[in-house]
Structure 1
Amino acid sequence: MSEMTVSQHALLGAPHEYLTPIERPTLDEAKAWCRHLASTHYENFHVATWFLPNKVRPHFESIYAYCRVADDLGDEVADPSTALRLLDAWGSMLDECYDTPERSLHPVFVALHETIRECDVPRELFADLIHAFRMDQVKTSYNTWDELLEYSHYSANPVGRLVLWVCGYKEESIALLSDKVCTALQLANFWQDVVEDAERGRRYLPADAMERFGVEEGQIIGRVFTPEFRTMVEHLVLRTRQMLREGGTVSKHVDRDLSVTLDLFRKGGEAILAGIAAEDFDVLRGRPVVSKTKKLSLLAGALGAKIRAGMSR
């Protein structure tokens, strides 16, 4: 094999759309690839980035593409050992992007290097995300709230910190507020997806909470909703909502454009928690969802805030 082994051969066995090309794409081609992935793979991300200044949107598209591919390498590959190998390869390609970027062939890393170069992004933020996806392959249940916080430290918090960093906010005090929002969003998704996660062999409901409220493991896969289960979920939702509110003050420390986007994500988390409460905390009968009407309301509010921000300049 040639010196390009990492870029050319590392992702063999990955979903075909993520295979590395033989020739290095141009920067414009790489950006277009990331933009396409961001705009077609996850509509909510594409909508949220519309509220950001044009100059930073390509950075967010390359960051999203990095996260999306890494997540799929972990989740879309059935065999954990294969998934771990692919994630190791993705990590090696990240190192290549930092250390010898001229060797990068995958469009994600060609585009991402431009973001890294222009914004001086710490490698640790990207590496932490790979660590989280590796955790998903070897840890399928959680015993305590603190274990969930540790997982979120790697899986969710780096995303918020990347958003702040690219927008020029590097203060740790602001990042810590963002951590609370990102962790709360991660937890809200866990409470929303209890059944779906159980069907995939994962449990994010902490075992100590289940024991405290008298909930049995079999109730989840068997969808046995009891008053005890309701009380447990209500407790977890209230705790998560408090964290979301505490971290939400991050919007007061950033410019109006970024504040609109951060508020949109926070309100999305609040809507998920409200949806769970509206179902009387019964997350076993089906996945609580945010209605289209609510989504439109959130977007309309964000659009109004963006317009007001523009008029105030």
Structure 2
Amino acid sequence: MAAASLDLHRTHYENFPVASVLLPARLRQPVAAIYAFARSADDFADEGDLPAAERLALLDGYRRELDAIAAGTATAHPVFRRLRPVIAEYRLPLQLFRDLLDAFSQDVVKTRYADYAQLLDYCRRSADPVGRLLLHLFGAATPENLKNSDAICSALQLINHWQDVGIDAAKPVPRIYLPQDEMARFGVADETVLRRTASADFLALMRFQVDRARALMLDGAPLGRALPGRIGLEIRAIVAGGLRILEKIEAVGYDVFSRRPMLDAFDWPRVMWRAL
């Protein structure tokens, strides 16, 4: 749940940590180890041109490494040699890593979401585990903090989806994360998205998605005040960055096909001012 690039990690595992300079120094290596796991597993699902069966096999290899940690047997993969001592020291729940792998495997085979509940369940496994892992690192995994973290992480995942509607539609196996029932309600067909057509109905649908993502982000925002010092500042910066992306989607009239809204160097002073 940490910001590290100017566009919420455009190229790799968009919304999550790369040991941001705002984090306490003692946490940067543990955070980097978690990020290396998440980034590499996400790449198995998304990068290159491997067939689906091979992608799933690579993710299964990561599951076997987690099973080895659970059983107390040796791990061979360099990502896990780095991650294993972090899991042990901070008693990180292995199920959170398994949830991430389940979400990445789902990305290999699932290209449509029937409704918002389905999409939120995907966010629960693809995004929320990272925030929960960080709260365990911080020693702050209280029920209230976990609830607010989930809201922030799910909102960040949704924001990334809405940034990337056009990019996801143009993949070799196109994905549409917009809920199918809401597309039907707004009169938006799959072909509208796949052809990257910014119709009036599509723009209205995107406005609805932006408003809901903002409300979810604001629901979780109290976490940034609940946690102390640089950790709280880090979270407030993440929230401010996500909200700024939503403003930029609005600024292009919700036409994410013509231009991918992303943070640039001019946005960060505003983000940090809001965080402070």
Give CA deviations for 1:57-92 in whole Å, capped at 9, x if unaligned. 111011011111111111125311110111001110
Cα offset for 1:171? 1.1
- After superposing on structure 2, the runs of 4+ consecutive aligned residues of structure 1 that deviate more than 3 Å are 40-48, 299-302
The root-mean-square deviation of aligned C-alpha atoms, in Å, is 2.1
Are residues 1:90 and 2:62 paired?
yes
Aligned mates of 2:112, 2:28 — CA distance in 1: 36
Distance verdict in 2 for CA 1:46–1:156, change over 3 Å:
closer
Amino acid at match of 1:98: A
Distance 1:137-1:234 versus aligned 2 partners, 3 A rule: same
Aligned residues: 264
Provide the C-alpha distance between the structure 1 equivalents of 2:151 and 2:14, rounded to a whole number of angstroms: 24
Measured after TM superposition, the shift of residue 301 of structure 1 is 6.2
What residue number does 1:254 align with?
Answer: 227
Question: Partner residue of 1:22?
Answer: none
Match of 2:118 among 143, 147, 150: 147
Q: Distance in 1 between matches of 2:243 and 2:19?
A: 16
* Contact kept? 1:48, 1:261, Cα under 8 Å: no
In structure 2, distance between residues paired with 1:114 and 1:284: 43
Matching residue of 1:68: 39
> 3-state DSSP class of the match of 1:49?
coil
1:123-163 CA-to-partner distances (Å, cap 9, x unmatched) read: 11111000000111111111211111000000000010011
Conserved in 1, the CA contact under 8 Å of 2:17 and 2:31?
no
Go from structure 1 to structure 2 and tell me whether the alpha carbon gap of 1:44 and 1:296 turns closer, same or farther (over 3 Å shift): farther
Report sequence identity in percent.
Answer: 37
8 Å contact kept, 1:143–1:207: yes
**Quick one: distance in 2 between partners of 1:299 and 1:241?**
18
SS in 1 for 2:248: helix
Gaps in structure 2 of 5+ consecutive residues:
1-8
Q: 1:141 to 1:55 in 2, by over 3 A?
A: same
**Looking at both structures, which has the greater relative contact order when contacts are Cα pairs under 8 Å and sequence separation is at least 6?**
2
Aligned equivalent of 1:170, options 141, 158, 163: 141
- Cα distance change, pair 301–209 in 1 and its aligned pair in 2 (3 A): closer
Deviations 1:199-257 (A, max 9, x none): 11100011111111111211112222222111111011001100000111111221122
| Cα 1:236/1:45, change in 2 over 3 Å | closer
Counterpart residue number, 2:105:
134
Secondary structure at 1:288's aligned position in 2? Answer: coil
| CA distance 1:207–1:280, shift in 2 (3 Å) | same
